[in-house]
Structure 1
Amino acid sequence: MAAWMGLVGRYPALGALLAQVVACMVVAIAVVAALQLGGWRFSPLSVGLVQGAVAAWLVRRMGLSIWWWGLSLAFVPAVLLANGAALPSWLFLLGFVLVLLLNWNSISERVPLYLTGARSTDALATWLERRAPDFRFVDLGCGPAGALLCLARRFPEAQFVGVETAPLSFAIAWLRSLGRSNCRIRYVSLWRTDLADFDVAYCFLSPAPMAALWRKASAELPTGAWLISNSFEVPDIPADETLALHDWRQSRLMLWRMGH
């Protein structure tokens, strides 16, 4: 089971696909049983909605990010609705392109879009309150920058930088940061980001890059700076501090202090 969950963490699309297949099988068995035992018949759309709910529940149990839940819930119902509607073919291409632009990093770096939730943001803010007010914070893969902007508003004397290379995520983050003087969004890979100017480097990536990220952080972050990872460990390097988030996934923030 641990090996399987590790595989899903590296390739979330594989987990979402498996959830769709399993949900289809479960719902098909239930529909056939209801027809044979009770003579009950269901509309295709109602069956699709149930299938989507089962798939979304499975994706949630796998620990995938919230946008995978919505995609899993809506996929089959959307196909059924589209099948009966005169929709232009370009609409499906547009949907594919949007998903691709949001998850560009999952192809090249095996880093899907994970959104930092409210519990993680609150835990980060509580921890950051211990620091001097003018700290420098970088989010390595900030996505649409919801958490980063929340922290920037909460700590106006600090400086925040988000780096992102998924084009649509970057565009959303950049637009949202306009007018926020203490927050900048850069279209640059985390691997090309010099960490020497930061006191805190935060990431919510995947298991795949964590060993390489540790080597980069160890070489570039100044002594006394912190690396914070949401949910994913650095292999064989115990965290100096762990913050439990008390969510349904039992996720946590792991913190490493450099050079001590």
Structure 2
Amino acid sequence: MPPALKALLAQLIGSAVALLLARNGLVAGLWQIVATQAASAAVAAALLRSARWWLPIHLGFVPLLVAAQSLGLHPAWHLAAFVALVLVYWTSFRTQVPLYLSNRRTAAAVVDLLPAAPARLLDIGAGTGSLLRPLARARPDCQFIGVELAPATWLIGHLLAARQPNIDCQRGDIFARTWQDFDVVYAFLSPVPMAAVWRKAAAELRPGALLVSNSFPVPERDADFVVDVDDRRRTRLYGYRIPPHATP
């Protein structure tokens, strides 16, 4: 079942449980009903085997909606917040890839992985370009291309990189374009698409090219090397060299 459908089903189950208990007098008062709905939705999500990060979303969704209603805000503010979230997260409900931003220490570690000769790096799911800008400053001889699907984050990255000629921020699907012209592909996505990322890298990158994944290893494949970044979140970079006749 798609994650978005699981989330909808969990919320419906939570609402049904809260309504049933309220009608039978087992819960009373607005916040008791809200708490019952939230807890029931979280339990339903767990039983449906949703990813763990869905559980706090279910616990907070309806309580935050009710709390927002008590603020007496104009409906336009709710619409604006919804539009902003859509423009930032776009199809995350389908791809299961949230917005992750690479920090400066991670960028410094990636600089050390670049070839000595001028190279081309592709950042798939580039977000606001937080990795591309320090890389471009450190290696002006290289070309850095970022691909991002969400309109708001792509636009921010595009504007911030406007004065760096060796950065090209493109909006599009990371799997729709070819990767064959790149020496390094960098990914900071989620565990969900990593098998597909490896299949595309193995099929399109030249032998000797490098796939670097921030935090999420390729399933069922040992990394050629691992870099531990000295930052607060203890980032790990998993490096995969494309072998001759790579098997996806």
TM-score by length of 1: 0.68
Conserved 8 A contact 1:133-1:155: no
1:1-260 to structure 2, matched below 5 A, reads 12=53, 14-17=54-57, 20=60, 79=67, 83-84=70-71, 87-128=73-114, 131-259=115-243
How far the C-alpha of 1:187 sits from its partner, in A, is 1.0
Conserved 8 A contact 2:154-2:171: yes
Conserved 8 A contact 2:106-2:235: no
In 2, Cα distance between equivalents of 1:151 and 1:15: 36
In 2, Cα distance between equivalents of 1:230 and 1:133: 23
How far the C-alpha of 1:105 sits from its partner, in A, is 3.2
In 2, Cα distance between equivalents of 1:175 and 1:98: 18
Distance 1:205 1:11, change over 3 A: farther
Matched to 1:114, the amino acid is: Y
In 2, Cα distance between equivalents of 1:135 and 1:176: 22
Conserved 8 A contact 1:112-1:205: yes
**Which secondary structure does the structure 2 equivalent of 1:255 belong to?**
strand
Matched to 1:87, the amino acid is: L
In 1, Cα distance between equivalents of 2:56 and 2:106: 23
- In structure 2, list runs of 5 or more residues that go unmatched: 1-45
Select between 167-176 and 119-128 the one with higher mean Cα deviation: 119-128
Distance 1:16 1:154, change over 3 A: farther
In 2, Cα distance between equivalents of 1:100 and 1:143: 14
In 2, Cα distance between equivalents of 1:105 and 1:243: 30
In 2, Cα distance between equivalents of 1:149 and 1:243: 21
Identity %: 36
In 2, Cα distance between equivalents of 1:16 and 1:149: 33
In 2, Cα distance between equivalents of 1:225 and 1:233: 17
Select between 147-156 and 216-225 the one with higher mean Cα deviation: 147-156
Conserved 8 A contact 1:245-1:253: yes
Select between 102-111 and 211-220 the one with higher mean Cα deviation: 102-111
After the TM superposition, which segments of 4 or more aligned residues of structure 1 sit over 4 Å from their partners? 18-21
Conserved 8 A contact 1:11-1:110: no
Conserved 8 A contact 2:214-2:238: yes
**Which secondary structure does the structure 1 equivalent of 2:91 belong to?**
helix
Distance 1:19 1:147, change over 3 A: farther
TM-score by length of 2: 0.71
**RMSD between aligned alpha carbons?**
2.5
Q: Deviations over 1:117-172 (max 9, x none)?
A: 233222112333xx224110000000011111111111111000000111111111
**Which secondary structure does the structure 1 equivalent of 2:86 belong to?**
helix
**Which secondary structure does the structure 1 equivalent of 2:131 belong to?**
helix
